[in-house]
Amino acid sequence: MKTWAEKLREDRRSYILIILSQEKGYSINTTNLQRALHHVGVLSSHDDVMTDTAWLRDQGLVKLEPVPEVEGLLICGITVRGNDAAAGVVEVPGVSRPQPR
């Protein structure tokens, strides 16, 4: 059985993918991603966002690009596989499957 912290982490990862899938350019910087998570009621620290986006990158669900002018700021963009996971088309262990809309 999953711990509460594991469930919250999986839900946060799912929300990250959903947020990215709804952005016009399918990408957002990590600071604004944290704000978007707060807006949907998923309170997350900077470390949470950085850790989860790195994990999602390692799974092939997002791409991360540094912003050279701002140390520590990344642009996070969704991949095709990540978009499929956000839509519930594929299941990815470690990411909550979204509820039907």
With H, G, I as helix, E, B as strand and everything else as coil, classify residue 66. strand
Instruction: Calculate mean pLDDT across residues 47-75.
Output: 97
**Domain range list for the chain:** 4-86
Class of domain 4-86: mainly alpha
Question: 87 pLDDT exceeds 90?
Answer: yes
pTM for this model (two decimals) = 0.95
CA distance 63 to 38: 22
The predicted structure's pLDDT at residue 99: 83
